[in-house]
Chains A and B, each alone.
Chain A
Amino acid sequence: MISAVAFIAVAIVLCAAAVMAIFGITNVAMSGPKAIENDGLHRGLAAPAWSLPDSSGRILASPSAKPFQLMVFTDHSLKSFPSVVDGLKILASQTTDLEIIVLLAQDNAAAVGVLRLLGLGDLPVVTGTPALYGRYNVRVTPFVIFVDSAGRVRASSLVNHEWQIMKLWRLANIPLSPDPVSRARRFPGGRQPAGVV
């Protein structure tokens, strides 16, 4: 009888421990720094091309005719990142070489309303698909990807603050250098600065 009770107690404790361990492993693997580092696309890669209508029916495409294009992967939750909103406003007002497009994962009227409230109503909003997010390897938002007119990724990262957007914009302006020699010259020690992905 004692053995039976002990077995039940031990089994329940082990089941609970297993469930908690699985939750822990999953949490770290999905939202830990290493998992986030793997999101987006590498600098220099060809970004997926697409052509989609924005909310006013105008057809937008990637790559853009402008020298640079900034794709902002987000939804109505952007209101929780006022610093990111500030960064987008600064870029939109100061740069003519850059086309900024908000890319939604699905039709989201709330997101369009929120963008208008945040003062980003002038930005074109394109409704994409979860599959398109997948092609850009984007799981968490707000995520930004800078693409040049040749359709090459210049910088991509999850962003939480204005300074991150500004830093990525500066890095996006650095010419691509496919050869390892010049790459090593730009990033001594073989390491890219944080944010270059």
Chain B
Amino acid sequence: MDVLVLGAKAALAVMLLVAGGAKLADLTGFAAVVRLFIPLRGLAPAYKYLATTVAVAEVILGGASLSFPAVEWINLVVLAAGCAFAAVSVLGFARHRGKSCRCFGALSRRTFDVPGIVRSALIAAFAGVATVGVSGSAVRLGAAAQILLLAAAVLVLAVSFTAAKALATVPQARSR
């Protein structure tokens, strides 16, 4: 059971790192999605900053969750983020069905659809499991282990950023 809970926690952390890294590689694309949800004319210049904030927050949250598993309040923040993803998924399906969510930047072409809602609900459920499963003291890590996990997080972040940046250059369809 413990391994399952720890697996859920680690999986969410890695997912946040991949999603954040990929979003950072395509901030313009993600800013367009932010604009879908906050369609205010006065905010136009701020969309890219908002997109950057979300992406950086995901990266920090993923890195912290992976490197500092004993800090229990991080689990609550991850749970809040998971619930926010689910809410965005439902709202996106209701208002912008079929449009790309850019959740993983150019790494994924998924759209706001029913499977997307199911996936985000699963993410929220995983985050819920991670908050109640194992006590923080049971996963207290030494400095060496934290540095190792931080290095792994940086590697995942770098790979997702580079891959998403490269994929953003691939034409999706020939210009007509």
Contact = CB atoms under 8 A, between A and B. Distances in A.
A184 interface: no
Interface stretch (B39-47, B73-81, B83-91, B162-170): B162-170
Contacts of A42: 174-176
B10 A11 contact: yes
Given A11-B13, A11-B66, A14-B14, A26 B139 contact: no
Given A19-B159, A22-B107, A137-B171, A8 B141 contact: yes
Contacts of A23: 159, 163
A15 interface: yes
A40 B69 CA distance: 49
Given A6-B2, A25-B107, A18 B173 contact: no
A26 B149 contact: no
A175 B54 CA distance: 52
A29 B167 contact: yes
Given A15-B153, A25-B163, A45-B176, A7 B170 contact: no
B175 A6 contact: no
**Max chain B CB contacts within 10 Å: which of A3, A23, A26, A41?**
A3
A30 interface: yes
Interface residues of A, number: 29
Contacts of A150: none
A4 B107 contact: no
Nearest to A1: B138
A51 interface: no
A39 interface: yes
B175 A137 contact: yes
Contacts of A137: 171, 174-175
A15 B155 CA distance: 8
A178 to B, nearest CB: 13
B140 A4 contact: yes
Consensus secondary structure, chain B interface: helix
A3 B141 CA distance: 10
A65 interface: no
Contacts of A197: 174
B155 A30 contact: no
A22 B163 CA distance: 7
Interface in B11-58: 11, 13-14, 17-18
Interface string A13-34: 0110011001101100110000
B10 A29 contact: no
B143 interface: no
Given A4-B138, A19-B155, A11 B14 contact: yes
A7 B18 contact: no
Sorted nearest first, the 10 A-B pairs with minimum C-beta distance are A3-B138, A11-B10, A15-B152, A26-B163, A7-B6, A22-B163, A14-B14, A38-B171, A10-B10, A10-B7
Interface of A: 2-4, 6-8, 10-12, 14-15, 18-19, 22-23, 25-26, 29-30, 35, 38-42, 45, 137, 139, 197
27 contacts: A2-B2, A3-B134, A4-B140, A6-B2, A8-B141, A10-B10, A11-B10, A11-B13, A12-B148, A14-B14, A15-B14, A15-B66, A15-B152, A18-B14, A18-B156, A19-B156, A22-B18, A22-B107, A22-B163, A25-B163, A38-B170, A39-B171, A41-B174, A42-B176, A137-B171, A137-B174, A139-B170
Given A7-B141, A29-B167, 6 more contacts: A3-B6, A7-B9, A10-B7, A14-B10, A25-B107, A137-B174
